[in-house]
């Protein structure tokens, strides 16, 4: 398997990762309905140990996602590599995930000692993490003009959002908008990560 090296930490690149498909387990979560747009992504991620339910029987797909939850999903998706906690406000697996994400340049803390794991994450922040994980490839930002709210994408995330749109990771809402500053739901985070993995 080919790997990209970022800050001496190995991360999997978007085009280089071939995820093994597994059969989704239907009916695991009572609130993940058959036929919903996010059903297969959630169940694929659950089967692979990338995500867990909020209870044994519920997933809360429409609940908002936090920085801590998001980096933990990414960390698991990358195989939970060895990592040292770096932030005083994270512990356990979240601490390792945040330390890994910071060490390989996926995201930064809000300060040298704090990660703010409970802060909500937006759609553009999510795809920026994935963009950096993929090695920050060249991206044509002119694609943002095709979105009616493309001009609202923050400057730091323009290349990331353009890349995510071009790769089919970030999709619109059918009305020409992408809502970059909207807080990402658990279903959206799960779906975008699984698209990144090529499922």
Identify the domain containing residue 35 by its residue range. 1-121+184-199
- What does the pLDDT read at residue 27? 61
Instruction: Write out pLDDT tens, residues 86-141.
Output: 999 999 999 999 999 999 999 999 999 999 999 999 999 999 999 999 999 999 99
pLDDT digit string (tens) for 147-157?
A: 999 999 999 99
Mean pLDDT for all residues in the chain: 87
Looking at the fold, whether 94 and 132 belong to one and the same domain comes out as no
Residues 6+ apart with CB under 8 A from 158: 141, 144
pLDDT tens column, 75-87: 999 999 999 999 9
The reply to whether 149 and 197 lie within a common domain is no
Cα(142)–Cα(126) distance, integer angstroms = 20
Do 144 and 76 lie in one domain? The reply is no
Do both 55 and 137 map to the same domain? no
Claim to verify: residue 41 and residue 131 sit in the same structural domain: no
Query: Based on the domain organization, do 115 and 34 belong to the same domain?
Result: yes
Q: Above 70 in pLDDT, residue 3?
A: no
What pLDDT is recorded for position 22?
Answer: 43
Q: Do 48 and 138 fall into the same domain?
A: no
Residues 111 and 80 in one domain: yes
Residue 16 and residue 108 in one domain = yes
Confidence of residue 19 (pLDDT cuts 50, 70, 90): very low
Q: Among all chains, which residue has been given the structure tokens 């790997």?
A: 3
Is pLDDT at 8 greater than 90 in this prediction?
no
pTM check: above 0.75: yes
Q: Dmax of the chain from CA atoms?
A: 44
């Amino acid at each position: 398997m080919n790997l990209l090296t970022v800050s001496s930490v190995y991360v999997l690149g978007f085009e280089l990762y071939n995820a093994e498909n597994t059969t989704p387990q239907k009916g695991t979560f009572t609130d993940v309905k058959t036929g919903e747009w996010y059903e297969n992504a959630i169940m694929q991620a659950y089967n692979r140990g990338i995500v867990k339910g909020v209870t044994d029987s519920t997933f809360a797909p429409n609940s908002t996602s936090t920085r801590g939850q998001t980096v933990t999903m990414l960390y698991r998706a990358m195989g939970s590599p060895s990592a040292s906690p770096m932030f005083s406000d994270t512990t356990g697996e979240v601490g390792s995930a945040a330390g890994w994400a910071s060490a390989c340049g996926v995201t930064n803390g809000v300060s040298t000692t704090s990660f703010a794991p409970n802060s909500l994450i937006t759609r553009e922040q999510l795809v920026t993490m994935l963009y950096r994980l993929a090695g920050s490839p060249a991206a044509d930002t002119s694609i943002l003009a095709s979105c009616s709210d493309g001009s609202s994408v923050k400057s730091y995330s323009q290349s990331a959002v353009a890349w995510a749109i071009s790769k089919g990771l970030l999709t619109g809402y059918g009305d020409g908008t992408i809502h970059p500053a909207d807080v990402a739901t658990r279903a959206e985070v799960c779906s975008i990560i699984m698209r990144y993995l090529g499922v």
